[in-house]
Chains A and B, each alone.
Chain A
Amino acid sequence: MQFLYTAWTVKHKPKSTTEIVGNPSAIKTLSEWLQSWDKGVPKKRAAFLYGSPGVGKTVTVETLAHDLHMELVEKNASDYRTEDAINRFAGLASQYSSLFGGKRIVLLDELDGLMGNADKGGVKATTNIIKTARCPVILIANNAYDTRFRTLRTYCLLIDFKNPISSSIAKRLQYICEREGIQADENALKFIAQRSGGDVRSAVNDLQALAQGKKHLTYDDVSWLAYRDRQESIFNVLKMIVYGRTSYGAKQAVDMADVDIDMLFEWIYENVPAHFTDPHDLAQAMDALAMADVYRGRIRASQNWGFIRYVIDYMTAGVAMARQNSTVQGWIPFKFPSRIMMLSRSKAQRALRKNIGLKIKRKFHISVARAPTEVLPFLRIIFKNDVHKAVGIAKWLDLDEEMIEYIVGNKAKAGQITAFLH
């Protein structure tokens, strides 16, 4: 069987207005206006939908046409670059009914695309079509208040599409995940939704990029995404800290960073070694980071967030002031915190190790924390050497196949052991 790539924004496009995320009142206004055409030509012959990209303007028109059984004639800005081209479509708007007797909507999408000399007359022609339109004309643009639309606007019913709130977007993402058979953590979806800033389309695209082919989508799978498109700004922040000349300047950097303090810490922690070449400076800088970390611990223990100021002092000014002899030649790029990536990759393994630790603890009176040093290494040796003893111990500890495989670190051997288990 062949799998073709289908964008989820297409595959899971709303079929009816009830599926659209947010903007219920805008949808209602548009729907009522469309239905008013049944009673004759209304005062405003065009509706002008405006709002940020990806909030559902076009899909609203498409689903309404479907719900109201109207024929949709859709033209993108790219199709009507000039006055001549637009006039060719004018005929479409001159009749309410189509050839086959159905009612018709003419949609002119992406009006923002009409720009400059090449599109000269485009807006004027559009205005003229509207003046005499015999069927509903719908215009869509990101910004209806662009001065080019000044005259056009007066002939239109203006309908504002607002950015949907992230919880509604998350709900939609959840629905898509269910249809794709993906089990997704709630906070992972919330994160994608929040990050989209109300752009449902980009949220769905991100979801597809992160979740397609997975059975389970976790927060760790998505959290790094936040930093993908913010690297430019984080680099400047890091430069201010790692090469700061004054304590004040280094501390200022925190306000510029649009990552949280913990993540900023990780960026600094990752990049300090490459930028502090002198061993003495490096030791000082790492010591400052360790102190920042001590205060993070104190915040956790006491829940006193006032200590955050000391965390900031140490991780910014403390690091900046560590530079005494280090000179760096040329440009050394800043790197994404590898520890974070490794942590998220090894999450499943850590969970497995913890579960083995819990099994050992139950029988062995030893902490989960200690099991990896005190018991696991010995188990590994026994399991590798003696299948029968391994079987016995696995039964005693109640280990499953996955755990056995982790312990012996070898699939074939694990198979031999588990074969005796049943």
Chain B
Amino acid sequence: MSFEMWAEKYRPKSLAGMVDQKTIVERLKSFAKSRNVPHCIFAGPPGTGKTTAALCLARDLYGEGYREHLMELNASDERGINVVRETVKTFARSRSIGEIPFKILILDEADNMTSDAQQALRRTMERYTETCRFVMCANYSGKIIEPIQSRCAPFRFTFLPPEEHDKYIKHIAEAEGVQLLPDGLEAIFEVCGGDLRRAINTLQAAASMNKPVDAKLVYTVTGKASPADVQKMLNTAIGGDFLGARKQLRDMIQKYGVAGIDIIRQIHKEIFKMAIPEPLKIKLAGITGEIDYRLVEGSDEEVQLSALLAKLVEEGSEIKKAN
């Protein structure tokens, strides 16, 4: 019996083992072969292999002892300028021992870094290029400041196409002895939209029910797996109950620990599914964008998001008046 989360167990260990992102992988392989790596930006949606590619690259470069030459930082947790000034700098400037003269610093979720921290990072990158190469993983490369972008080789990761996705999930199901029915596999792709990490987690959670994994089971699992019922909250607000909506928001943040960034991005998705006038959707999308930006810059999650809820209450009352 395996004792790991499958998403980790089946994470490729080498670039050769990566299923998709073929052109990217080819280029990364050539970096590993020539033993030279530029600063990189890996941009793309979650679960498409950015972190995996960075880890594989490091392992292919340094071999099994790769951990000694590697540092992983996550900007969502350490996004302040002090981290750049201290942790990053200390790591970046110390010389590497071994055949390869530089180390690799993986900066995950780099788009959640404040612009000040990015400015500081830019100088560090420049100064210590000889001893350290940066791999920045981000959902949106646009959130990374121009001067950093221009110093990096860009790589755009895309969602796995259905056939690659299915192949991989089926492979895991077989290896783990899970009976995965065709409609179950389809449902996983539909729900996770090509986010492989989420897909594997969903499969594992569904498999834990010890039943054949069909579509119904997948939907049950994903229903349970979303602590943030964003849709319900938005409807409460549109219906005019501001305090009720704010209470739901507060529970998401405080009780379930859902990050504000995740809530705002889910709101953005839900807006376009709502039964509201089309022009309003665009207006609301603009507001979510502004709030998204403010959150990245360090504003208070609840205060910012409840301003959006109040806006929804207002728009909801306008719709009622119009009818």
Contact = CB atoms under 8 A, between A and B. Distances in A.
Interface in B6-56: 7-8, 46, 51, 55
Contacts of A349: 255
Given A342-B254, A350-B257, A385-B210, A294 B294 contact: yes
A293 B74 contact: no
A374 to B, nearest CB: 7
Interface stretch (B97-105, B128-136, B183-191, B239-247): B239-247
A28 interface: no
Given A367-B76, A378-B225, A279 B316 contact: yes
B77 A386 contact: no
B259 A370 contact: yes
Contact of B108 (A296, A297, A367): A367
A297 B250 contact: no
Interface string A354-393: 0001000101111111101111111111100110110011
A283 B313 contact: yes
A393 B4 contact: yes
Contact of B303 (A293, A370, A377): A293
Contacts of A287: 307, 310-311
Interface in A241-280: 269, 273-274, 279-280
B51 A365 contact: yes
Nearest to A364: B8
B143 interface: no
B280 interface: no
A392 B213 CA distance: 21
Which of B262, B310, B311 has the largest count of A CB atoms less than 10 A from its CB? B310
Interface in B242-293: 242-243, 246, 250, 254-259, 261-262, 291
Interface in A286-306: 286-287, 289-290, 293-294, 296-297, 300-302
B212 to A, nearest CB: 14
Contacts of B226: 377
A353 interface: yes
A346 interface: yes
Contact of A381 (B4, B210, B221, B306): B221
B310 A378 contact: no
A303 to B, nearest CB: 10
A279 B240 contact: yes
Contacts of A382: 204-205, 208
Contacts of A269: 303
Contacts of A368: 74, 76-77
A259 B77 CA distance: 31
B254 A293 contact: no
- Give the interface size bracket for B toward A: 35 or more
B261 A301 contact: no
A234 B184 CA distance: 58
A269 B249 CA distance: 14
A342 B250 CA distance: 9
Contacts of B242: 273, 282
A299 to B, nearest CB: 10
Contacts of B261: 369
Interface string B162-176: 000000000000000
A290 B273 CA distance: 26
Contacts of B3: 392-393, 395-396
Contact of A286 (B221, B227, B306): B306
A381 B208 contact: yes
A337 to B, nearest CB: 11
A343 interface: yes
A301 B208 contact: no
A46 B320 CA distance: 82
Given A381-B225, A385-B210, A363 B8 contact: yes
A373 B252 CA distance: 10
Interface in B294-323: 294, 297-300, 302-304, 306-307, 309-311, 313-314, 316-317
A372 B259 contact: yes
Nearest to B255: A346
B4 A346 contact: no
A343 B5 CA distance: 32
A367 B139 CA distance: 14
A370 B76 CA distance: 8
Given A373-B228, A385-B209, A388-B1, A367 B314 contact: no
Contact of A339 (B72, B208, B209, B302): B302
B236 interface: no
B2 interface: yes
Contacts of B313: 279, 282-283
B114 interface: yes
A354 B72 CA distance: 18
A374 B197 contact: yes
B201 interface: yes
Contact of A361 (B74, B258, B291): B74
Which of A301, A343, A364, A370 has the largest count of B CB atoms less than 10 A from its CB? A370
A386 to B, nearest CB: 4
A269 B307 CA distance: 10
Given A339-B250, A342-B254, A373-B228, A279 B314 contact: yes
A392 B2 contact: yes
Nearest to B240: A279
Given A369-B77, A373-B262, A374-B201, A364 B5 contact: yes
Contacts of A393: 3-5
A159 B75 CA distance: 61
10 contacts: A282-B242, A290-B299, A293-B299, A293-B304, A302-B116, A343-B254, A369-B76, A377-B205, A378-B221, A381-B221
Given A286-B310, A297-B299, A381-B224, 18 more contacts: A279-B313, A279-B314, A285-B310, A286-B306, A289-B303, A290-B303, A293-B300, A297-B300, A302-B116, A363-B5, A368-B77, A370-B262, A373-B262, A374-B46, A375-B201, A393-B3, A395-B3, A396-B5
Interface of A: 269, 273-274, 279-280, 282-283, 285-287, 289-290, 293-294, 296-297, 300-302, 339, 342-343, 346, 349-350, 353, 357, 361, 363-370, 372-382, 385-386, 388-389, 392-393, 395-396
Closest CB pairs A-B (n = 10): A392-B3, A290-B307, A286-B310, A367-B76, A377-B225, A372-B257, A283-B314, A367-B74, A369-B76, A381-B205
